């Protein structure tokens, strides 16, 4: 695999507070960033402007729809704001009561936004401007994510993960029983694998073709989801590599304390692991450059490290005085954005046009 060019800084600005989230639009060179005091910044062609001024209440989740038309943001205020950038004013605002919104997930094709409210999962049709589905759950969900390839959702509950098709079913398609409470779920980019980080701390990985083997009490142990233990602390982020052979040899990164735990499925050998341990403080975010094995890891130590093939450190980016907080690759792989704990917002470029 050919190593992509290393990154050069294209933008550095300072927002009003800790940068809680960054997200690229799938269309064009458009970036959104949110802060701990409610500011939302919009960056188009490396030119920033304020989309929402500080409100004093944190924004914890931002996400673009699949076609890039809609931008959704939610957080401490218990509401979801939707824009149609570059229009500067909100188009819709969904009142979610006292619920702190920290999970938003857009459908991979249509403008359907899934979010959690109390013991329900709700789906907002942005084009129709209405809630079209409400799924009543038995307990408060921890996370939700659409499959990138199908009309199904993974919903993390206290003791299991439920797989739903909200458009055709009134009950979950499958229920994956867990050994501990899940923290987050993450689909592989091809939709073939679903990873779940748990609070004990451990990690479990399910192959989509083996959904019928999700109950450990009644399944052949060889068909059960893989279970990884021995992490040094809480698993904060998961990231799948988007590489050509990801179906036969999927690669997963897990940020835990000051290290990144790597997992690679080797044919005939099972899941193999190694550690990336150059950081000196907590790693808060990880993400793979699309179509390559280049991994970026962002830490409270003020380093953002680029790892070639998730093995060798090739470049260390800095500039966040009190540490980095989040990062995101553009879908083209040409740009990397990152936020800092003192409001820094960076964009780096590979310097190539693709």
Provide the pLDDT for residue 2: 44
Provide the pLDDT for residue 224: 82
Provide the pLDDT for residue 86: 86
Provide the pLDDT for residue 209: 83
Residue whose pair of structure tokens reads 């079209």 in the numeric block: 132
Asked if 103 and 112 touch (Cβ cutoff 8 Å), the reply is no
CATH number of 8-349: 2.130.10.10
Mean pLDDT, each 10-residue run in order, the chain (354 residues)? 70 98 96 98 95 97 97 97 92 92 97 96 96 95 96 96 92 93 96 96 92 58 84 97 80 98 93 98 98 96 97 96 98 97 98 57
φ, ψ (nearest 5 deg) of residue 48: -85, 150
Provide the pLDDT for residue 219: 54
The token pair that represents 238 in the structure block: 């998961």
Provide the pLDDT for residue 281: 98
Model confidence, pTM = 0.93
Provide the pLDDT for residue 99: 87
CB atoms within 10 A of CB 230: 10
Asked if 53 and 67 touch (Cβ cutoff 8 Å), the reply is no
Provide the pLDDT for residue 194: 97
């Amino acid at each position: 695999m050919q190593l992509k060019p290393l990154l050069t800084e294209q933008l550095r600005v300072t927002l009003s507070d800790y940068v809680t989230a960054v997200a690229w639009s799938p269309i064009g060179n458009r970036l959104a960033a949110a802060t701990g005091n409610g500011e939302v910044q919009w960056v188009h062609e490396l030119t920033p402007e304020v989309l929402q001024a500080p409100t004093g209440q944190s924004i914890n989740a931002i996400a673009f729809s699949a076609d890039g038309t809609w931008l959704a943001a939610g957080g401490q205020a218990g509401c979801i704001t939707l824009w149609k950038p570059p229009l500067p004013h909100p188009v819709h605002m969904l009142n979610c009561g006292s619920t702190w919104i920290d999970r938003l997930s857009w459908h991979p094709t249509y403008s359907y936004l899934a979010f959690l409210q109390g013991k329900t999962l709700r789906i907002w049709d942005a084009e129709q401007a209405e809630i079209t589905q409400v799924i009543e759950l038995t307990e408060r969900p921890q996370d939700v994510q659409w499959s990138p390839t199908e009309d199904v959702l993974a919903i993390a509950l206290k003791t299991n993960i439920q797989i739903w098709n909200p458009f055709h079913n009134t009950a979950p398609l499958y229920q994956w029983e867990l050994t501990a409470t899940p923290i987050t779920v993450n689909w592989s980019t091809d939709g073939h694998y679903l990873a779940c980080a748990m609070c004990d701390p451990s990690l479990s990985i399910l192959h989509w073709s083996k959904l019928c083997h999700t109950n450990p009490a009644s399944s052949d142990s060889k068909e059960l989801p893989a279970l990884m233990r021995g992490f040094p602390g809480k698993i904060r982020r998961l990231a799948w590599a988007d590489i050509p052979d990801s179906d036969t040899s999927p690669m997963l990164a897990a940020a835990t304390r000051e290290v990144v735990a790597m997992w690679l499925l080797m044919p005939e050998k099972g899941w193999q692991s190694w550690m990336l341990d150059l950081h000196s403080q907590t790693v808060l975010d990880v993400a793979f450059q699309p179509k390559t094995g280049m991994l970026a890891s962002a830490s409270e130590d003020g380093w953002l490290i680029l790892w070639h093939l998730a093995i060798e450190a090739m470049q260390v980016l800095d500039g966040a005085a009190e540490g980095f907080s989040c990062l995101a690759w553009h879908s083209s792989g040409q740009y990397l954005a990152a936020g800092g704990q003192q409001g820094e917002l960076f964009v780096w470029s590979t310097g190539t046009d693709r």
